[in-house]
Amino acid sequence: MPTMLGQNQYGKAENRVVRVTRDGGTHHIKDLNVSVALSGDMDDVHLSGSNANVLPTDTTKNTVFAFAKERGIDSAEAFGIELARHFVSSQQPIHRARIRIEEHAWERIPVAGRDRGEHSFVRKGQETRTTEVSYDGEHWQVVSGLTGLVVLNSTDSEFWGFVKDGYTTLQETRDRILATEVNARWRFGWTGAAGQAEPGWEESYAAVRGDLLGAFAETYSLSLQQSLFAMGSRVIDNSAGPDAIDEVRLSLPNRHHFLADLAPFGLTNDNEVYLAADRPYGLIEGTVLREGADARIPVTD
């Protein structure tokens, strides 16, 4: 039965590009997920396998990162227009370019009396609040928490001095992006015993969230483990009375940001353009306890 080729396109999908613009000590972030689809005179590649009219999808990826450096990202719309215009005008066989962009917005973490908030960010969009209440007919255990709170420091993070063996390729760095998704659970000291005042649940949640963000922003981090301990410690240290928290368990997947290699295009990359990789990722987990307290929050997969 005879067949014919219908509508078709090709490209590179979901190029995660993060552009940091450094205005002195104040940084600005554009975090985009860019998908490129190209169509035109592409019959031969389908029918005979000839690649004569094919711009490699790897090249479209490289173009996204190079344009982020060369032209900056004023807006998702303007960036998409630049890319589409380039692909159609520079390649005769390409008649149509479709650029789809998702922008992940960030807002600054305020830090009172300090300028570190100028490069500390929290992803816009609310995290999921959680709670687990256990009661045995006599005692209560309340474990509150949050998931999916994405935070990022665009500087004030290093990673060096680690163990190296024959399989180690990671380079030491004295300046890197540190980003993670905060997943936290915290256990109150309150058990419902006679005479115990009940915690102020709403106020406590806001305070813990603020302490997690504040400690992340204010810690000059030599490792994500160091940030984890600082975050859990601040929550415990700042909780008291009915709202006292005895245990904080944190799970912090490292949202890696790798410097994009722009050297093949004759461009330098002074900690400006990053490839945001979602997997595989380092997973840092730990528990911080009030002195004398037992660990009771169960470990989950």
Residue 164 falls in the annotated catalytic set = no
Question: Annotated binding residue at 225?
Answer: yes
Q: Which of 56, 79, 104 is the last residue of a domain?
A: 104
> Can you give the pTM of this predicted structure?
0.88
DSSP notation for 191-220: ---TTPPPP-HHHHHHHHHHHHHHHHHH--
Read off the pLDDT band of 301 (50, 70, 90): low
Residue 155 falls in the annotated catalytic set = no
Q: Are 151 and 252 in a shared domain?
A: yes
φ and ψ at residue 153, rounded to 5 degrees: -110, 125
Question: Annotated binding residue at 156?
Answer: no
pLDDT at 143 over 80: yes
Q: Are 28 and 169 in a shared domain?
A: no
Exactly one of 12, 30, 61, 119 is catalytic; which is it?
12
**Count of structural domains, the chain:** 2
Exactly one of 61, 69, 119, 256 is catalytic; which is it?
256
Residue 256 falls in the annotated catalytic set = yes
- Name 189's Cβ contacts closer than 8 Å, sequence gap at least 6: 244, 245, 246, 290, 293
Decide the pairing of beta strands 283-289 and 26-40. Answer: unpaired
Q: Are 92 and 227 in a shared domain?
A: no
Q: Are 118 and 172 in a shared domain?
A: yes
Q: Which of 54, 87, 104 is the last residue of a domain?
A: 104
Query: What tens digit of pLDDT does each residue of 144-177 get?
Result: 999 999 999 999 999 999 999 999 999 999 999 9
Q: Are 96 and 218 in a shared domain?
A: no
Residue 231 is part of which domain span?
Answer: 109-256+277-289
Read off the pLDDT band of 300 (50, 70, 90): confident
Asked if 287 contacts 300 with a C-beta cutoff of 8 angstroms, the reply is: no
Exactly one of 21, 57, 59, 147 is catalytic; which is it?
57
Q: What is the DSSP letter of 10?
A: B
Question: Annotated binding residue at 254?
Answer: yes
Question: Annotated binding residue at 58?
Answer: yes
100 domain-assigned:
yes
